[in-house]
Amino acid sequence: MAESKFLELTDTSSSNGNISITPEVVEAIAGLEVEQIKGVHLVDSGISKSFNAILRLDSNPKGVRLSEDDRGLVIDIRVMLDFGISVPQTAAQIQEKIKQQLLFMTEIVINEVNVEIVGMEPEEVKSDINPDDIFAENDGEDK
């Protein structure tokens, strides 16, 4: 749906005119909302995405796609999770937060949020090695 077809916001017709929004804005809102969730990282949607970004042909945020089926609007999102967090709980949180934020900001009802977890980020390992003294030549000596 990211072909820039405008979505009319419901109940916004007034004497001032209509209000419409592009699918790219909906995708951006979903992507920004997901980035607020601790331990969740959006994923690029592939090599063609990289070429489009270089050529400025695609303003679609990485890993988020809005489409429409016979039941309504659908968001597909690709993420990586930090190792050790609950996959089912985090996926459910992603789904709920996207639906709530889009309803709040645009009054658009999202019928379905499909979460594709494509990988896990390993825990960050803390090292006691001083990068300025890799071979520990200064054992206990101050510089």
Highest-scoring range by mean pLDDT, 19-23, 37-41, 45-49? 37-41
Which residue range forms the structural domain that includes residue 102? 7-14+23-121
Q: Residue 46 belongs to a domain with what CATH number?
A: 3.30.70.1350
Pairing of strands 72-82, 110-121: parallel
For the cut 90, the answer to whether the pLDDT of residue 6 exceeds it is no
The Cα 133–Cα 116 span in angstroms is 43
Assign 81 a pLDDT band (cuts: 50, 70, 90). very high
What is the number of domains present in the chain?
A: 1
Answer whether residue 87 is part of any domain: yes
| Amino acid in the structure at residue 86 | S
The whole-number pLDDT of residue 7 equals 77
Answer whether residue 126 is part of any domain: no
Pairing of strands 20-21, 110-121: unpaired
Mean pLDDT value across residues 29-46: 87
Answer whether residue 38 is part of any domain: yes
The Cα 39–Cα 37 span in angstroms is 6
For the cut 50, the answer to whether the pLDDT of residue 49 exceeds it is no
**Which tokens is 50 given?**
């990289």
User: Is residue 76 exposed (0-12), middle (13-18) or buried (19+ Cβ within 10 Å)?
Assistant: middle
Is the model's pTM score more than 0.85? Answer: no
Answer whether residue 109 is part of any domain: yes
Answer whether residue 135 is part of any domain: no
Assign 132 a pLDDT band (cuts: 50, 70, 90). confident
Answer whether residue 67 is part of any domain: yes
| Amino acid in the structure at residue 11 | D
Direct distance between the N- and C-terminal alpha carbons of the chain, in angstroms, rounded to an integer = 60
Supply angle C-alpha 8, 9, 14, rounded to 5: 100
State percent of the chain over pLDDT 70: 73
Answer whether residue 142 is part of any domain: no
Answer whether residue 76 is part of any domain: yes
Assign 48 a pLDDT band (cuts: 50, 70, 90). very low
The Cα 99–Cα 93 span in angstroms is 10
For the cut 50, the answer to whether the pLDDT of residue 66 exceeds it is yes
- Top pLDDT among 75 and 16 is at 75
